[in-house]
Structure 1
Amino acid sequence: MPFAPVFRSEWLKIRTVRSLLATLLVLFAATTAFSALATLDPEDQDADPLFAALSGTALGQIAAITFGSLAVSAEYREGAAVRLSLTAVPRRGLWFAAKAAAIAAVVLVVALVTSLTALLAGLAGLGDAADGLTTADQVRGVVGGAVYLTLMALFAAGLATLLRSGMATLSVLIPFVLIVSFVIGDALGAVADFMPDRAGQTVLRSVPEGTLGPWTGLGVTACWTAAALLAGAWRLRRQDA
């Protein structure tokens, strides 16, 4: 079976599930709203205006993670949906690749619009404090932020396929990005720079901190995502639906 019709079928699933569309709306609204509230401490010489302008991304990633998780876990509700999908597409690797591609395409488009809108809202809120940002910094922040959100959605999708549960996936990832990364991560020193969320968010800074650069940090997140997707594909191929 060709890839294109399988991809279209997965796109139709996403388009017709209201909870997934609502999650994308939350991604846009939360990221933009919290970026619009961005402020900088005038006495803080290390304050990063780009990171402040895109600060809503830290909250928006929760919606991206939820989207990726729900897009997969919907297949495993009572097992009926995934059995039907695999009956229509017996090649499990093809089906999983199409689902991952559909998730990535949808999130990337929404995230690009979201990151651009959030940046404009954040810059308006910062006013003169953002005058030092270059066009290159802003373009990197928008594109990098969109790619980061897409990778986090795929990371959640891979983990949801491995665990076969959206609730379990969210129970692991949301505390991880909200608690482990910000609380425990500070005590780990340079090791924390290689966590998937902290590494990827380096691209949102005009002057990166830590051991990773903007694109190498995003590359680290991509490696985490690839590992999760491979683990999910392995479970899908090895275990009955």
Structure 2
Amino acid sequence: MSFSAVLHSEWIKVKSLRGTAGSLIAVLLVTLGTTALAFATIGQAEADDPGAEPLYDAFYALNFGQIAAISFGVTAMSSEYLNGALRISLAAVPRRGPFYAAKIAVLGGLALATGLVTAFASFLLGQSFMGPYAIGLDHPGAVRACVGAGIYLALLALFAAGLTTVLRSGVAVLCTLVPFVLIVPFVIGDVAGSVAEFLPDRAGQQILHAHPAGHLGPWTGLAVCAAWSAATLLAGWWALRRRDA
């Protein structure tokens, strides 16, 4: 099969599997829903606080949207390990390199497109509730933060997909990554200080700050997050090559 044909087959898988398509849509819906709820109720409550950071606060709902992004990466890859689906996929595409590359390309492309739409829509929706405290896309760093947020969501989806290929279990990956993203950085941050800056979520979210603090800048932080994703994808490729279907 040509690579374009493999890409097409992976696209068909994504849009035909309810769990995969649903988790992708959830990235947008969860983020926008949380944004509307949070900003409509308490959006202006602390906006005039001297320690407030309006740009970073605009992406508060990304803390929930990133869980949906992880779920998308997990479900898109774990579907291959249910009911012997991987054997069928490799029977159709015996060369594992093109198969894995096409799956990651489709997954990453969809996650990036959804992430960018989600980031811009969430930013604009949240600011519509802020009244005199609203900032626009002309605010310093706003466009960079929106673009970076979309890339960040895509990187988390790829990180989850690579880890799922290694562990071959969607449940195991979700049980590992969700606490890792929500809890571990704060625990390690209290104990180890600057070490937490280099964890994938903390590093990736540096792009959301107008003036990031710490050792990492906005793009270097996103690069660290990309390195984590690349490492799990390479580990997944090694596992796919070395193990039987």
TM-score normalised over the length of structure 1 = 0.94
Match for residue 62 of structure 1 among 60, 67, 75: 67
Map 1:28-107 onto structure 2 (within 5 A). Answer: 28-36=28-36, 37-38=38-39, 39=43, 41-42=46-47, 44-78=49-83, 80-107=84-111
**Does the CA-based 8 Å contact 1:49-1:133 persist in structure 2?**
no
Cα offset, 1:118, TM superposition:
0.2
Q: Deviations over 1:33-57 (max 9, x none)?
A: 2223243624632321111111111
Mapped to 2, the partners of 1:140 and 1:190 lie a distance apart of 24
Change beyond 3 A, Cα 1:163–1:134: same
2:207 aligns with: 203
Change beyond 3 A, Cα 1:32–1:164: same
Match for residue 170 of structure 2 among 166, 172, 182: 166
Cα offset, 1:147, TM superposition:
0.3
Q: Deviations over 1:140-197 (max 9, x none)?
A: 1211100000000000000000001100110110010111022333322111000000
Mapped to 1, the partners of 2:57 and 2:47 lie a distance apart of 13
Mapped to 1, the partners of 2:32 and 2:157 lie a distance apart of 18
Mapped to 2, the partners of 1:142 and 1:47 lie a distance apart of 19
TM-score normalised over the length of structure 2 = 0.93
Q: Unaligned regions of 5+ residues in structure 1, if any?
A: none
Cα offset, 1:134, TM superposition:
3.4
Mapped to 1, the partners of 2:213 and 2:165 lie a distance apart of 33
Q: Deviations over 1:54-100 (max 9, x none)?
A: 1111110000000001111110013x210011111111111111100
Runs of 4+ that moved beyond 4 A: none
Change beyond 3 A, Cα 1:190–1:77: same
Map 1:5-20 onto structure 2 (within 5 A). Answer: 5-20=5-20
Percent identical pairs in the alignment equals 50
1:139 aligns with: 143
The residue matched to 2:175 in structure 1 has which SS?
Answer: helix
**Bigger CA drift: 138-147 or 149-158?**
138-147
Q: Unaligned regions of 5+ residues in structure 2, if any?
A: none
1:228 aligns with: 232
Matching residue's letter, 2:75: L
Mapped to 1, the partners of 2:118 and 2:47 lie a distance apart of 27
Map 1:150-165 onto structure 2 (within 5 A). Answer: 150-165=154-169
Mapped to 2, the partners of 1:185 and 1:101 lie a distance apart of 33
Mapped to 2, the partners of 1:152 and 1:43 lie a distance apart of 32
**What is the total number of aligned residue pairs between the two structures?**
240
